Amino acid sequence: EDKVVQSPLSLVVHEGDTVTLNCSYEVTNFRSLLWYKQEKKAPTFLFMLTSSGIEKKSGRLSSILDKKELFSILNITATQTGDSAVYLCAVDRNTGNQFYFGTGTSLTVIP
Amino acid sequence: SAVISQKPSRDICQRGTSLTIQCQVDSQVTMMFWYRQQPGQSLTLIATANQGSEATYESGFVIDKFPISRPNLTFSTLTVSNMSPEDSSIYLCSGLAPGPLSYEQYFGPGTRLTVT
């Protein structure tokens, strides 16, 4: 059965800390892995990863994919209170239209 | 990029009634999807909205309960029929649009539905 597992489920850190969020997957016909940030209702797209070992970076956020070990990490450095959100990982397949979402990691950054 | 709007943004409905949620995209998207996010849970794909034909439903979701229309490339509706409290959820519309290198998935702001 296809699945996407994120860890930890929740995390509380202080401003300025660095956090690493994990996403592992078992999905047939893998095409890409996507990270989203969800505040309130709608998720916001962060990264799409298709190739192993190539880091994607946007400001204090970065992500990398390991297609051999079937996982990805999302790093956030120098965290700010505005980073508090649920971070979702999703996997896309070559066949069909299904996007498999993980359960999310709830990040709380306290001042 | 694509900007997606949904309406209503929220509603409180009585058991047994139906609600239709509208989704409008500001530009053409290749695919449109409807998701549900129940309290404390992640997103679950309900169906893919196909232009001019019947939607493709995921396991556990059926057309009689969640009829979907997509008359053109930029508009879709999802109806939640014969509602029960278990249908209380956030319903999200999503569109797939070409991005700089490949494609990107954009989400609408969601519709928060409470069934009493």
pLDDT per 10-residue tile (average), chain A, 111 residues: 88 97 91 87 83 90 94 97 94 71 92 94
> For position A107, what pLDDT does the model report?
96
Q: Which tokens hold the place of B103?
A: 């494609």
Contacts of B108 in chain A (CB under 8 A): 42
Q: What is the mean pLDDT of residues B6-16?
A: 95
A90 close to A36: Cβ distance less than 8 angstroms: yes
Cβ of A111: how many Cβ atoms within 10 Å?
Answer: 7
Q: Which sign, positive or negative, has the C-alpha torsion A54, A39, B4, B107? A: positive
Amino acid of residue A42: A
Instruction: Output the average pLDDT for chain B.
Output: 89
Cα–Cα separations (whole angstroms), residue B80 to A54, A77, B11, B37? 42, 42, 12, 14
Q: Do A41 and B90 touch (CB under 8 A)?
A: yes
Residue of B nearest to A37 (CA): B107
Q: For residues B15 and B45, give the distance between their C-alpha atoms in angstroms, rounded to a whole number.
A: 23
Higher pLDDT, B59 or B90: B90
- B31 vs A: CB within 8 A: yes
Contacts of B41 in chain A (CB under 8 A): 103
Q: What is the mean pLDDT of residues B75-81?
A: 97
DSSP 8-state symbol, B14: -
- B99 vs A: CB within 8 A: yes
Q: How do residues B12-26 score in pLDDT, each as one tens digit?
A: 999 999 999 999 998
Q: Do A88 and B43 touch (CB under 8 A)?
A: yes
